Structures are given as structure tokens and as C-alpha cells.
Amino acid sequence: MNIALDLAAKGAGYTSPNPMVGAVVVSEGTIVGKGWHESVGGPHAEVNAINDAGNLAKGAALYVTLEPCNHQGRTPPCTQKIISAGIKRVVMAMADPNPNVSGGGEKFLKQHGITVESGICRNRAQRLNESFIKYVLTKKPFVTLKCAATLDGRIATRTGDSKWVTGKASRKYVHGLRHSADAIMVGINTIKTDNPSLTTRLENKKGVDPKRIILDTNLSIAEDAKVLQVASESDTIIITGNSKSSKKNRLEKMGARVIDADIKDSRIDLNALMIRLGQMEITSLLIEGGGQVAAASLKAEIVDKICFFYAPKILGGDDGVSMCSGTGPDLMSRSIPVKDITVRRFDDDVMIEGYLT
């Protein structure tokens, strides 16, 4: 099952809004077929693994990271492929979390005389598809908040200089996060200060650019901003409360999408925005800043997971840009608890990963 999960992870960035799934066919203790879901609309993992096994699939066991589908979607039901191949035993990591189909594949296979076992490496399987699970249950994206700071919690100096807080290894990992996410979100101040492209740059393969979402309440983005000039197959989406501005038509002629948003306390209502993004089939959202957006996201309780990078640097003053800006709680007991902590090193940088929900 761990081999199947490793295969499933190869689909990161390519399968959304579908889950990542891997499968392994085993005959008499020997792996005879492997496969994973490689792209939306393409064959599912089970089909690829069985095709790889060929005639050796007859009488074999199939290890799969998610319950095989028993419904017609973009592709035919995988249960039919399993039955016609002569598979005798199916071992799955987890049931399909979609309440509309959960259990259907397992039940159908059992009705056709196939032994089914479930729960092998369930926790790892759930973490792998945490975005898919939240999306099918809530129709909202799974939100990861990424920050990079000095040891004293600053993401930039008093002049706004932030290049670079962390090292190359950390930044390389972040590009992997971008590749895996459906969308990346920043505030207009980040666009004005850093002028980023918000694209994915991977060393060993062509990455997938996430949709670029910019929170710009007053539609003040400069028309020569890099994010409006990039050659990318993914959209640049500007979320605003001022869509009646004459600038909207010019931005849309440049290829950007301008979406009018609900406003709350003179700022974009992030909870309402999450519903809107879910309707756009955005299953995962990476928030990269800056301090105002980070604080607003935490206050709105839309964040599911944090990836906080700390570099071995100290600014040593109180005039730099904080990870979160604005007013925090009056008591430590009202701070936001972070659970299921993982700590990783990227050269001299340290990343703390944890969950808020």
C-alpha cells in the first residue's frame, strides 16, 4: 500500500478536482502491475495498474489507495474493470469520502465475489488527499497558509525588502506547493511591494501554474504588474469590491478575470470568497501573504493548515513587517492552537507544518 501511495503522489498538480490515486497488482507475492491516476479525464489508477499487469491480473490482489469507483464519470466504473480482469481480492486504504458514492464500490465488488479489505495505511491516504476530502464534504477549498520569516517573526524589513528571507531549498519546496495547489492567493500590497509572477518553477519537470488570485478591494493594481504579463495557461483572477471601475475592462482585455466580491468591514469577505472559489472547482488554495492577508485569513478561520518557514536570521528591531498585521487576542489562552505538528529542515531553514482544524 505504501508503494501505491507513492505512485498516487505522482499525480499531484495534475488530477484536481479528482483525487490522487495509486494502485498495485500483486500475484503470488510479486508485484506484476503498477499505475496511478495521471490526469483529469485519463484512466484511473486501477485501470492503469491492471493494464500494466495484463493476463497476470487474473486471480491477483489489487492494492488501491481509494475505494474503486462504481459510477460513470469522465471514465467508466473501475469496478467493472476489476471484475472483468479476474481480480480476486481488493485491499483499499480508505473509502471514498464523497457521501454520494461512499461504499458503493466496495459493496458492488463484494456482490461479485471479490474479497475487500479496507483501512490499510488509512491515515497516510487521508493526508495525501486532504484537499479532495474537504472539498467533497464542504464544497470549499482546503486552505494552506504559507509564511517565511526571520527568527524574530519578520517577513520583510522596514523598507519592505524580503529577498530573500529563506534559502534556495525552502523556495524550491514552496514551488512544489504551488504546483500541487489549484490556486495561490496574495493581497494587493504583495503585488505592489514584491511584484511577483506567482508561477511555478520546478527544476526537474514542467510545473503546473496555480490560478493566481489577488485580493484588491479598490482595484488599484498597476496595469504593468508582472502577474498581468505572465505567459501561463492558468488564470489571473482579481477579487475586488470595485468592479464598476473603468479599469475593469482594460484588465479583462489584458486577459485577467475581475470578480466582484462581498465586502465585510471594508475588506473582502473571505468566508464568502471560499464558497465562490469552491463553485469554481478550486479544491486547494495556497495563501502566500502578506501580513494583512495572513491575519485576515486566520481571523476568518478559513485556514486548515500552516507551513511556516523560519530562517536563521534576526532583524533585531520592531519596525520590520510582521507575519501577521493588526490586532491579536488580549489573552494567550485565545491564541490559535496548531495540532499534528511536523518539523522539517531545508538546509538551515526550519519549516513547521501543522493543522488548525
Annotated catalytic residues are: 46
Is the separation of the CB atoms in 337 and 207 below 8 Å? no
Is the separation of the CB atoms in 166 and 349 below 8 Å? yes
End-to-end CA distance of the chain: 27
Q: Which residues have a Cβ under 8 Å from the Cβ of 13 and sit 6 or more positions away?
A: 179, 180, 207, 208
- Say how far apart CA 55 and CA 46 lie, in whole Å: 15
- Say how far apart CA 320 and CA 284 lie, in whole Å: 30
List the one residue out of 137, 71, 283 whose CA is nearest residue 44: 71
Is the separation of the CB atoms in 75 and 52 below 8 Å? no
- All three cell numbers of 273: 470568497
Q: How many angstroms separate the Cα of 108 from the Cα of each of 80, 111, 160, 175?
A: 9, 5, 59, 41
